[in-house]
Amino acid sequence: MQYSESEHKRLARAYRFKKYGVAYLFLSPNLLFFFIFLVIPFFWVLWLTFNSGGILTPTKFVGLQNWSRVLQDPTAWRSLLNTLYYMAIAIPTVFAIGMGLALLLKRTTKFVTPIRAMIYFPTLAPIVVGALLWIFVVHPDFGLFNTMLRLLGLPIVNWLGNPATALPTIASLEVWRGSGYWTVLFLAALLALPTELFDAAKIDGAGAIRRFWHLTLPLLRPTWLFAIVMATIWNFQLFDSVYILTDGGPNYSTATAVWYIYKNTFQFDKPGYGAAMSFFLLIITLVLAVVELRLMRKKA
């Protein structure tokens, strides 16, 4: 059967239309939820920043008032700095421990699976459970830390009650819970590295430390890139453990960005104020991620 040229074109168009239609149909469930729960919220949060009024009370347009009040709010700044301080303690520590344990695990040949499983296990605990567990570790009366200190004959510390130690104590929970994840991730990356390069470097007389700095680290760059960006995004959202352990105290020493957003929105009923902070959080996270990506690219 012969088709005329216009007929042929029409059929081709109909075929393409159907094919593309199927593709979009297959994507539609995901795109629908992305649209409702990511795209709309993204613009809505921006709109909310220009309004006052609560979840219960009617909204009122107030322009940039929320923005300027957030910028002048010492607690907002405090919670941002606390979050950065927490990240500065927790992220390098989990990376160092994770990389250290991964290097050790790579050298060993026996019992790798059970050791890896035990080191990884704390990651499976929800942060809430980790935080409740940490109460038993840092409780001034019956906590593990103080039990140890007493056994050693040292004075006990009120870990979460002291503004100087409260945030590092919360970071210690993340170190305990998170190190296993990075160990497993770094170990997988280490095992995927080509061995020939390392053998060649060994023959050329490069010591273990030089091999690590000049071969292992540069070769692991894609893993680092992922690890640093994701650790920044995840840890910036520190909330669960603060909510359980200290609720921001004592004296706002453990107030974090997401905790303060939660407080303002759902307890003080100031969603516009919370939204302005959410928007700052979004911008800061994106800037940090982009800067990290840039820095890592340049280094290579």
Partner 1 sequence: MSSTEVEVRATAAEAKRAAERGAKSRKIAGISVSYLILIIGCCIAIFPFLYIVSLSFKESTSLVSYPPKWIPDPFYFGNYTFLLGETSYIRWAFNTFAFAGSVTALKIFFDSIAGYTFAKMDFPGKEILFTFVLATLMIPFAATLIPAFLIVKNLGMVNTYWGLILPPLASPIGIFMMRQFIESLPKDLENAARLDGCSEFYIYLRIILPNCKPALAVLGIFVFMTQWTNFIWPLVVAKADEMRVLTVGLASLKGQWVTNWGVIAAGSVMLMIPIAIVFIFFQRWFIAGSMAGALKE
Residues numbered 65 to 104 that lie near partner 1 (CB under 8 A) are 97, 100-101, 104
- Here's the x/- map for partner 1, 206-225, by CB under 8 A: it reads as ----------------xx-x
Q: Which of 6, 58, 107, 153 binds partner 1 (CB under 8 A)?
A: 107
Q: Which of 141, 195, 203, 300 binds partner 1 (CB under 8 A)?
A: 141
The nearer residue to partner 1, 4 or 19, going by C-beta atoms, is 19
**Long-range CB contacts for residues 58-62, cutoff 8 Å, separation at least 24:** 59/272, 62/272
Shortest Cβ distance from residue 266 to partner 1 (Å)?
A: 6
Shortest Cβ distance from residue 151 to partner 1 (Å)?
A: 8
Q: Tell me the number of residues near partner 1 by CB under 8 A.
A: 95
Residues numbered 179 to 208 that lie near partner 1 (CB under 8 A) are 179-181, 184-185, 188-189
- Here's the x/- map for partner 1, 148-167, by CB under 8 A: it reads as --xx----------------
Binding of partner 1 at residue 108 (CB under 8 A)? yes
Q: Which of 88, 96, 118, 200 binds partner 1 (CB under 8 A)?
A: 118
The nearer residue to partner 1, 13 or 164, going by C-beta atoms, is 13
Q: Which of 12, 64, 124, 191 binds partner 1 (CB under 8 A)?
A: 124
The nearer residue to partner 1, 169 or 223, going by C-beta atoms, is 223
Q: Which of 70, 76, 105, 220 binds partner 1 (CB under 8 A)?
A: 105
Binding of partner 1 at residue 244 (CB under 8 A)? yes
Q: Which of 61, 77, 136, 268 binds partner 1 (CB under 8 A)?
A: 136
Q: Which residues contact 244 (CB under 8 A, 6 or more apart)?
A: 128, 131, 132, 135
DSSP codes of every residue in the chain: ----HHHHHHHHHHHHHHHHHHHHHHHHHHHHHHIIIIIHHHHHHHHHTTEE--SSSPPEE-TTHHHHHHHH-HHHHHHHHHHHHHHHHHHHHHHHHHHHHHHHHHH--SSHHHHHHHHHGGGGS-HHHHHHHHHHHH-TTT-HHHHHHHHTTPPP--TTTSHHHHHHHHHHHHHHHHHHHHHHHHHHHHHTS-HHHHHHHHHTT--HHHHIIIIIHHHTHHHHHHHHHHHHHHHHT--HHHHHHTTT-STTTT--HHHHHHIIIIIS--HHHHHHHHHHHHHHHHHHHHHHHHHHHHH-
Residues numbered 2 to 61 that lie near partner 1 (CB under 8 A) are 19-20, 22-24, 26-27, 29-31, 33-34, 36-38, 40-42, 44-45, 48, 55
Q: Which residues contact 142 (CB under 8 A, 6 or more apart)?
A: 136
The nearer residue to partner 1, 126 or 164, going by C-beta atoms, is 126
For partner 1, which stretch binds (CB under 8 A), given 7-15, 88-96, 119-127, 198-206?
119-127
